[in-house]
Chain A
Amino acid sequence: GQQLNQSPQSMFIQEGEDVSMNCTSSSIFNTWLWYKQDPGEGPVLLIALYKAGELTSNGRLTAQFGITRKDSFLNISASIPSDVGIYFCAGFTGNQFYFGTGTSLTVIP
């Protein structure tokens, strides 16, 4: 399927810093999903958003469903070494899923 615009592609941050990444599209979605993938494993669902404007937290992670329904962002606060991995978004139009190209996160202790 088509891919969403996800940025940044990669991030190198110091432990303790906050992280922000986002996904944008020209299409309207009714669901936004954020996943984390560790090397050699399947992606794990972090946060699911089902309503425009919705702000949802999961521990140190916070994600928002953009008001326009065309974007979403994920924030990670106070990063730790185990946050390392690839994060990607997925959007659902009601008929089809689209995926972001992923953000590779490296946390420097």
Chain B
Amino acid sequence: GAVVSQHPSRVICKSGTSVKIECRSLDFQATTMFWYRQFPKQSLMLMATSNEGSKATYEQGVEKDKFLINHASLTLSTLTVTSAHPEDSSFYICSASAQPSGNTIYFGEGSWLTVV
């Protein structure tokens, strides 16, 4: 199947700093990528949908100034957690819908963020 890669898989950052997580579709073009947050033993929580070349659409309750999403190319989307706080510590996952039909999504491996 199609491969979506996230980097880094684990990151620890100091409170108040910003951290960037990358999501790449390795063997297909993805016009749409999704970012999720997941708390332990809970389902995925969709944060935002990003389309290549346009602004991301954020879900209700997600601060767009805090979670900056950029989808600059058909194979790369980035999530930047700005001015991170300990409560931002979580498992962040991206997914991408494969072209041309866009009706199947593949997930990245996830990124653990710990803010200390």
Q: How many residues of A contact B (CB 8 A)?
A: 24
Chain A residues positioned under 8 Å from B44 (CB to CB): 43, 88, 99
Query: Is B109 an interface residue when CB atoms closer than 8 A count as contact?
Result: yes
| Among A14-22, A44-52, A65-73, A74-82, the stretch in contact with B | A44-52
Q: Given that A33-B104, A40-B91 are known contacts, is A88 also in contact with B43, CB under 8 Å in the complex?
A: yes
Report which A residues bind B (CB closer than 8 A): 1, 3, 30-31, 33, 35, 40-45, 48, 50, 88, 90, 92, 94, 97, 99-102, 104
Q: Which positions in B face A, CB cutoff 8 Å?
A: 1, 4, 6, 34, 41, 43-44, 46, 59, 91, 93, 95, 97, 103-110, 112
Q: Can you list 9 A-B contacts with CB-CB less than 8 angstroms, sorted by A residue number? A: A31-B103, A33-B105, A42-B110, A44-B107, A45-B105, A45-B107, A48-B104, A92-B104, A101-B43
